[in-house]
């Protein structure tokens, strides 16, 4: 147990980081696989509240894939993934919208409010935040984002709210709504907001040379490293599109992207407000 002096020291050491990021925008993508327990979720939301109360403009962009799959199972509708994207027929779209824009979004908003922050929950349809057309009929109603209008998110930030965004988009090709992968939406939003950082919370320590061994964490990745990493076969499954989203965010002007382990309590605070870099950091150059 740390002494009062040690606790005070930790707070004082956070000061330069608070000053550095004060007024800057940080987008946190909170994926379903990192929403593993109430305790961890509370820790993530506490970090968000603290960052917002010290003047960092935090935006939460959430997924909830496992919750959607559970609901589809409960109503007896099959879940199918094509190239890592959920095949989204009309019935699935209804469930995606109910679960993401309803249950998951409002639970996160309520939790942030309950912890002393002020959250505002919206989805990509609100204020035409995300507009999308059908990506490819092979995926059903999965959208390809054609435009991002972050006006509403900026206004919410200016008024002191933490925007909590779910990733359903406004359809522009006759479809009322489209399903968007949350990593893709987070990268697009971070670029549109000119964010300083994009943090992707997931269920691994970061990018690993051997996914079964946490000791093989790769701390820093530059875009030039990615082709070799891909060719070596160590990047598989959901990590392939995730890395692409990281590169898109960097190419769009986001200074740094972090892959952090949502299972480590307060990983966001440790990454942002201390000199202990955890997880994998992606940046264009040192
Ligand atoms: N080299 C790698 N390092 C870390 N994770 C990897 C790697 N290759 C594949 N993965 C997988 O990527 C997964 C994270 O992607 P994904 O399941 O899409 O996350 P999320 O649901 O949080 O968006 C990890 O759980 C892991 O199984
Ligand atoms: C097109 C597509 O696959 N959409 C995702 C949206 C949610 C998501 O991405 O949630 P996670 O971050 O928890 O995986 C889905 O329907 O599961």
pLDDT tens-digit profile, the chain (286 residues): 578 999 899 899 999 999 999 999 999 999 988 888 889 999 999 999 999 999 999 999 999 999 999 999 999 999 999 988 999 999 999 999 999 999 999 999 999 999 999 999 999 999 999 999 999 999 999 999 999 999 999 999 999 999 999 999 999 988 889 999 999 999 999 999 999 999 999 999 999 999 899 999 999 999 999 999 989 999 988 898 899 999 999 999 999 999 999 999 999 999 999 988 899 999 998 7
Alpha-carbon span 222 to 36, nearest angstrom? 30
Q: How many helices (H) and strands (E) does the chain have?
A: 10, 13
Alpha-carbon span 164 to 105, nearest angstrom? 7
* DSSP tag of 196: S
- The token duo for 133 is 């057309």
Alpha-carbon span 123 to 179, nearest angstrom? 11
Instruction: Give the binding-site residues of ligand 2, using a 6 Å CB cut-off.
Output: 31-33, 63-65, 68, 85-86, 96, 142, 167, 179-182
* DSSP tag of 254: -
Q: pTM score, two decimals?
A: 0.96
For residue 246 and ligand 1, the question of a CB distance below 6 A is answered with no
Q: How far is the CA of 226 from the centre of ligand 1 (A)?
A: 15
Identify the nearest ligand to the CA of 201 by its number.
1
CB 262 within 8 A of CB 41: no
> CATH topology for 21-283?
Carbamate kinase (3.40.1160)
| Domain boundaries of the chain, sorted by first residue | 21-283
**Cβ neighbours of residue 249 closer than 8 Å, sequence gap 6 or more:** 186, 187, 190, 191, 195, 198, 257
> Atom 15 of ligand 2 has which residue's CA nearest to it?
65
**Phi, psi (rounded to 5 degrees) for 222:** -110, 155
> Atom 14 of ligand 2 has which residue's CA nearest to it?
65
Element (H, E) at 228: helix 226-231
Q: Report yes or no for ipTM above 0.85.
A: yes
Q: How far is the CA of 6 from the centre of ligand 2 (A)?
A: 41
Binding residues for substrate: 64-65, 86, 179
């Amino acid at each position: 147990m740390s002494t009062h002096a040690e606790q005070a020291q930790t707070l004082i050491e956070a000061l330069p980081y608070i000053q550095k990021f004060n007024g800057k925008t940080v987008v946190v993508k909170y994926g379903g696989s990192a929403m593993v327990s109430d305790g961890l979720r509370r820790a993530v939301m506490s970090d968000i509240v603290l960052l917002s109360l010290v003047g960092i403009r935090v935006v939460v962009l959430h997924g909830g894939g496992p919750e959607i799959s559970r609901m589809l199972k409960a109503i007896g509708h099959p879940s199918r993934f094509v190239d890592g994207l959920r095949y989204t027929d009309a019935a699935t779209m209804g469930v995606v919208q109910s679960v993401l824009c309803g249950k998951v979004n409002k639970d996160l908003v309520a939790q942030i409010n309950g912890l002393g922050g002020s959250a505002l929950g919206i989805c990509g349809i609100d204020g035409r935040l995300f507009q999308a057309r059908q990506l490819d009929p092979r995926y059903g109603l999965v959208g390809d984002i054609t435009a991002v209008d972050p006006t509403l998110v900026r206004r919410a930030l200016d008024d002191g709210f933490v925007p909590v965004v779910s990733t359903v988009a406004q359809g522009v090709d006759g479809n009322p709504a489209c399903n968007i992968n949350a990593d893709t939406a987070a990268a697009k939003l971070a670029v549109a907001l000119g964010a300083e950082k994009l943090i992707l919370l997931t269920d691994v320590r970061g990018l690993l040379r051997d996914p079964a061994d946490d000791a093989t964490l790769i701390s820093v990745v530059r875009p030039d490293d990615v082709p070799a990493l891909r060719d070596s076969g160590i990047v598989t499954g959901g990590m392939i599109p995730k890395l692409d989203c990281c590169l898109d965010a960097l190419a769009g002007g986001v200074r740094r992207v972090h892959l952090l382990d949502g299972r480590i309590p307060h990983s966001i605070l440790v990454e942002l407000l201390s000199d202990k870099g955890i997880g994998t950091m992606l940046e264009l150059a040192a």
